[in-house]
Chain A
Amino acid sequence: MPDLGIRVLFEGSNFLRLLGGMWITIKISLLSAAISVPLGMALGMVMTLKNPVTKAVTRIYLDFIRIMPQLVLLFLIFFGATKAFGVHISGEVSAVIAFVLWGTAEMGDLVRGAIIAIPKHQYESGAAMGLSKLQIYRYIIVPQTLRRLLPLTINLVTRMIKTTSLVVLIGVVEVLKVGQQIIEANRYTAPSAALWIYAAIFFSYFIICYPISKLSGMLENRWR
């Protein structure tokens, strides 16, 4: 490759446009994560209830969501819901809905795992001290679960960011789409642009996700 396709990366506003595309990805994933985390916490607590009905319903929800590839969920919302309810949902909104459904399930399972990992005697000692059920949760269970949960939740955010790359397949203009546009625009002047653009996108995902997963690993080690 004699010509320098890499210059396309820094020509005009190309680099800024790519960053803008990346921002769309991050916005969608952070928004989805921000909604999923509280919903997932609620779901996780509901899942620990002994009620057979809530148990069955949450179980089916969790299993269905976790078995389906995230792209299928995205298609179900984007194509399916649009047709079923006769409303047009934009790609971005479908993405947030799909990722919230998925994130809530994942988060719910993490929360459930963290809650049942708390030994029974913690509840019993609380009760023995005369704390009410609410107080037991507030002062004993929640603080301990949060410690276990934080690293896993941060990890979920990186998974959310990686999964958000899928939204290009339902027509959202994010970083890959912007990359394609730049490559198309420079088809004749810089035929090797694709190599550099896609490499740049690859590494920008890495630059964003690596520190976050490092942080999660660090917290996990410290609080073990």
Chain B
Amino acid sequence: MDWNFIKRYIPLYREAAGLTLSMALLGILLSLVIGLICSLILYFKIPVMRRFVRGYIELSRNTPLLVQLFFLYFGLPKAGIVLGSKTCAIIGLSFLGGSYMAEAFRSGLESVEKSQIEAGLSIGLTRMQVIRHVVFPQALTVSIPSLCANAIFLIKETSVFSVVALADLMFVAKDLIGLYYKTDEALLMLVISYLIILLPLSVAASLVERRLRYAGFGYSSIV
């Protein structure tokens, strides 16, 4: 192990980790928005839109992010649509994440029993009020474990961003291996970087899940 080498290149990894995290955060936020909209369309069975949403979910869940990125980054420019690296990465990640988040929200919404809605209506709440005060709080509690799992999944998926020429952690590691043949050092730093990012999140996610299970929610959250 060449510790000086490691010390010298820590800033490079820190920068790459920052890029990975910021891209992931943006992607997760967009995925949540897309997922929520899609799940509401499915939940309220909005006629035509519903078919599109189903199609989108199947398409995105059954194709790998890497292939989606290749299409966006190398394919689309030939049709005159040129997207930058970051734009491609974000579009790809949200396209993938949106469907996973939609499924998580949907399973939450569907877990709320019909009697709850009827009870709300019968005490004189409007439809909007029922959704806001009765359905949402219960649905969200059931969805949260899957939403957390999906967020972690999306952070892991950012590891393919190097194919659209983004200098993420994988890119830096591969670069150092190629340039200096410092394989052990580069890989060690790669693993540690991902551990630093993902370990706290995964511990937090399982704590949240345990809390929810204690409250009697979230037991159906096998992703």
| Whole-angstrom CA separation of A7 from B158 in the bound complex | 33
Check: B184 CB closer than 8 A to any chain A CB. yes
A80-B184, A169-B66, A195-B79 are known; give 9 further A-B pairs, CB within 8 A: A5-B78, A67-B198, A68-B191, A75-B170, A82-B183, A162-B63, A166-B66, A199-B75, A201-B71
Contact of A205 among B64, B74, B162 (CB under 8 A): B64
Check: A206 CB closer than 8 A to any chain B CB. yes
A72 contacts B159, C-beta separation under 8 Å: yes
Expressed in whole angstroms, the minimum distance between the Cβ of B193 and any Cβ of chain A is 9
Check: B85 CB closer than 8 A to any chain A CB. no
Q: Which residue of B lies closest to A158 (CB)?
A: B62
Check: A15 CB closer than 8 A to any chain B CB. no
CB contacts under 8 Å to B, within A41-55, are none
B202 contacts A67, C-beta separation under 8 Å: yes
Chain A residues near B187 (CB-CB < 8 A): 75-76, 79-80
Chain B residues near A194 (CB-CB < 8 A): 74-75, 77-78
Chain A residues near B177 (CB-CB < 8 A): 79
Ordered by A's residue number, 22 sampled pairs between the chains whose C-beta atoms are within 8 Å are: A5-B78, A67-B198, A68-B194, A69-B157, A75-B173, A79-B183, A79-B187, A83-B184, A165-B66, A166-B66, A169-B160, A176-B67, A176-B70, A192-B78, A194-B75, A196-B75, A198-B71, A199-B75, A202-B63, A205-B64, A209-B63, A213-B61
A206 contacts B78, C-beta separation under 8 Å: no
Contact of B78 among A80, A162, A166, A191 (CB under 8 A): A191
Chain B residues near A158 (CB-CB < 8 A): 62
| Whole-angstrom CA separation of A191 from B77 in the bound complex | 11
Q: Which of B80, B163, B190 has the most CB of A within 10 A?
A: B190
Check: B222 CB closer than 8 A to any chain A CB. yes
Expressed in whole angstroms, the minimum distance between the Cβ of A8 and any Cβ of chain B is 11
Expressed in whole angstroms, the minimum distance between the Cβ of B152 and any Cβ of chain A is 8
Check: B29 CB closer than 8 A to any chain A CB. no
Q: Known: A72-B170, A84-B184, A113-B222. Is A213-B62 also a contact (CB below 8 A)?
A: yes
Contact of B67 among A69, A84, A198 (CB under 8 A): A198
What are the 10 tightest A-B residue pairs by CB atom distance, in nearest-first order?
A198-B75, A209-B62, A69-B159, A165-B64, A192-B78, A195-B78, A69-B156, A162-B64, A198-B71, A71-B159
Check: B207 CB closer than 8 A to any chain A CB. no
Q: Which residue of B lies closest to A113 (CB)?
A: B222
Expressed in whole angstroms, the minimum distance between the Cβ of B197 and any Cβ of chain A is 9
Check: B199 CB closer than 8 A to any chain A CB. yes
Chain A, interface SS category: helix
| Whole-angstrom CA separation of A67 from B194 in the bound complex | 8
B71 contacts A199, C-beta separation under 8 Å: yes
Expressed in whole angstroms, the minimum distance between the Cβ of A48 and any Cβ of chain B is 16
| Whole-angstrom CA separation of A192 from B170 in the bound complex | 29
| Whole-angstrom CA separation of A63 from B205 in the bound complex | 13
Check: B76 CB closer than 8 A to any chain A CB. yes
Chain A, 4-17, contact with B by CB distance < 8 Å: what is the 0/1 string? 01000000000000
Check: A181 CB closer than 8 A to any chain B CB. no
Check: B174 CB closer than 8 A to any chain A CB. yes
| Whole-angstrom CA separation of A176 from B70 in the bound complex | 9
Check: B138 CB closer than 8 A to any chain A CB. no
CB contacts under 8 Å to A, within B136-171, are 156-160, 162-163, 170
Q: Which residue of B lies closest to A213 (CB)?
A: B62
Q: Which residue of B lies closest to A193 (CB)?
A: B78
Q: Known: A194-B75, A209-B62. Is A83-B183 also a contact (CB below 8 A)?
A: yes
A205 contacts B76, C-beta separation under 8 Å: no
CB contacts under 8 Å to A, within B177-220, are 177, 183-184, 187, 190-191, 194-195, 198-199, 202
Check: A57 CB closer than 8 A to any chain B CB. no
Check: B58 CB closer than 8 A to any chain A CB. yes
Expressed in whole angstroms, the minimum distance between the Cβ of B21 and any Cβ of chain A is 14
Q: Which of B64, B76, B79 has the most CB of A within 10 A?
A: B64
Check: B111 CB closer than 8 A to any chain A CB. no
Contact of A69 among B70, B78, B194, B222 (CB under 8 A): B194
